[in-house]
Structure 1
């Protein structure tokens, strides 16, 4: 964490190499988030490029270096939403490798993706931020500007819906943590 804070401080002072190092550290997370939200590789690449450029240009607006991950993910999600609105696309399938690791039983990835597609956007957003980005409920709450209780409720309801849908469909979703 101290190294991250030092890199952010260097980048804010104009050290381009420090900024590049920061982006390299978060590149996989950014890709996963954009890939979960967008329909195709071109849109993912555009969103990532726009987000990185915006982050570089607005780095001075980051007040707390410890929140760099949350800050850049928010920029990326805003870029993704702009692309979705522009293309009039809907929230696309969520690749849920991390979610599958959280289950006790092996469930086919395709079945789980189908069930996630059935969730409303608020539930999917909470699931992606929690399981894919790795934010905790407090960070998600601050990020979405909604009460932490609302976020916890969405996560709980989404997991409950997934469990009940799998039970109805003959599949078993063990216990999503």
Structure 2
């Protein structure tokens, strides 16, 4: 398997297959990140498509080839934030959808609620650390914030989740 650096170099020279290979390597991370930030599958699909198109058009602007993952995640998060700021819409969940979620992953729904209860800075720090897999230094560079601030946000976010939700048989229960 080719290294990320060599695939990025090829993609910068216009090799579409190399770009597709790069995107396929990060497709799951991008999807998980978008689905944690957005509440609608259609929005996730739209943002994923916009991200891939933008990345393809702007691959030549990537300065350090080894940071492709961070770079494309930043594009994705910016697209998600843009969509959220533009629409500011509420998601209405009917009873049937709620029952489907309960049968097919109620814990996931509860975890999403827990994450959504956090402010944007804490939620983004958790997503970048646990879902995207960036380390504290990478998150710091990505968000242009000091490493201490990132560590603090992660710690506070975990404390808030621990204080407002408690674990029971593999799931979360909200305490008001």
TM-score surpassing 0.5?
Answer: yes
What is the aligned partner in structure 1 of residue 39 from structure 2?
A: 39
8 Å Cα contact 1:55/1:75 also seen in 2: yes
Conserved? CA contact 2:36–2:112, under 8 Å:
no
- Superposition map of 1:1-177 within 5 A: 3-89=3-89, 108-166=107-165
1:84 match: secondary structure: helix
Change (3 A) 1:36 1:115: closer
Shift of the alpha carbon at 1:2?
A: 6.8
Q: 1:81-116 deviations in whole A, cap 9, x for unaligned?
A: 1111111147xxxxxxxxxxxxxxxxx544443332
TM-score normalized by the length of structure 1: 0.80
Could you tell me which runs of 5 or more consecutive residues in structure 1 were left unpaired when the two chains were aligned: 91-107
Mapped partners of 1:141, 1:89: distance in 2? 30
Question: Offset of 1:130 from its aligned partner?
Answer: 0.4
In structure 1, C-alpha distance between the alignment counterparts of 2:61 and 2:109, rounded to whole Å: 40
The structure richer in strand per residue is: 2
Distance 1:127 1:89, change over 3 A: farther
Q: After TM superposition, give the deviation of residue 172 of structure 1 in Å.
A: 9.2
Q: 1:156 to 1:2 in 2, by over 3 A?
A: farther
| Counterpart in the other structure of 2:102 | none
**What TM-score do you get using the length of structure 2 for normalisation?**
0.80
Q: 2:122–2:154: 8 Å Cα contact kept in structure 1?
A: yes
Distance 1:24 1:77 in 2: 18
Instruction: Report the CA distance between 1:161 and its aligned residue.
Output: 1.4
* Runs of at least 5 residues in structure 2 that lack an aligned partner in the other structure: 91-106, 171-176
